[in-house]
Structure 1
């Protein structure tokens, strides 16, 4: 299980920060009840960097996913050679205000406006998509982890 992250100021999800803060202890209580591990994304300061988010400003970037995977491995006691806490590299140059507003306009045109139109029309991005596995099937257990074996996709 994962706690919700602490979104950076100015991010699309920052307005729901308070709700995430209320959600996390409830999730933690459920995890304790069922003796399930929790990866605390809220405590991962590296996820507060705007570069932790993809172009849509909603989902994590590939680098953020890599860092979360390292944190998961750490939680599971698996050996890792990199540290997810490693600070982001310094940007080559700081974006000026005008450049930031241009980026905001591109984002709004590319991501926000189409989303808003879909919401008004009552259309989901998943409408019309077929499921990858339409029939209920048993979950295959992953291969046993040994010294140098790799984890296999349990879903097959």
Structure 2
């Protein structure tokens, strides 16, 4: 759905976009010093496209890294509704499923009630399925729970007339270059690809040209046991320890865009 020159299309009926979630939505893995919080991410990229030729467009991103589903809803749902958005993206539950082995049906029941509140505002709601970590060492054992949660998310979206952004079906994510070296978050290329998919799910033409990654050389992280060990030692293990031993003097994490504003500029 790309091709027309920027500014030559209808970017949709939305003028006030609010993003809710965790590190996935805050843009971790897509560093950009000029973006609030030093990260760009798929949500920023979507807002950039939707704001093309729309000086009245406003965007807020309430996402905070590391939050569980209940924490996201407790901290972000009320403020999001108060901002009176006409477009909301909500991704939550990944940390619960992958690192806490939470029951996907119970998570879905909690999510369902929250989506009902958002839908009652009249805003367009976009929900995300989880990606397929099936080929990722140590994370692949969660594949069944992720699949069950995804089916629940599709049912919730149907019940509340929401839109599904289907990461599970996004086959481009099987390319390791779509992922950050920590294998938990997406790279700039991954965020770019996800942004294009979300816009297409919303039936919005865009200028995000599909990327054509070169074939991966032999010995990629999918085959390398040494690479698996280094990944566990350098990324996954420190992340797990940080979840258990939080520093008392660590500053609280805050949303990077707590108030709706222009996508660029202030």
Distance 1:130 1:115, change over 3 A: closer
Aligned residues: 136
Moved over 4 A (4+): 124-127
Partner of 1:3: 129
Distance 1:69 1:114, change over 3 A: same
**Hey, which of these two has a bigger chunk of strand by percent?**
2
The one of 180, 183, 191 equivalent to 1:54 is 180
**Residues of 2 paired with 1:100 and 1:38: CA distance?**
34
Distance 1:96 1:111, change over 3 A: closer
The one of 114, 129, 143 equivalent to 2:251 is 129
Structure 1 spans left out of the alignment, 5+ residues: 143-151
**Residues of 1 paired with 2:191 and 2:138: CA distance?**
18
Q: Counterparts of 1:24-63 in structure 2 under 5 Å?
A: 24-63=150-189
**Residues of 2 paired with 1:81 and 1:49: CA distance?**
22
Task: Indicate the larger mover: 107-116 or 71-80.
Answer: 107-116
Structure 2 spans left out of the alignment, 5+ residues: 1-126
Partner of 1:107: 231
Partner of 2:215: 90
Distance 1:41 1:113, change over 3 A: closer
**Residues of 2 paired with 1:12 and 1:127: CA distance?**
31
Distance 1:15 1:77, change over 3 A: same
- Residues 120-152 of structure 1 show CA distances to partners (whole Å, capped at 9, x for unaligned) of xx224898232436xxx8x64x7xxxxxxxxx4
Report how far residue 111 of structure 1 moved. 1.3
Whose Rg is larger?
A: 1
Partner of 1:145: none
Partner of 2:199: 73
Q: Which has the higher contact order (CA 8 A, sep 6+)?
A: 2
RMSD of the alignment, in Å?
Answer: 3.2
Report how far residue 94 of structure 1 moved. 0.9
**TM-score under structure 2 normalisation?**
0.43
Task: Indicate the larger mover: 7-16 or 71-80.
Answer: 7-16
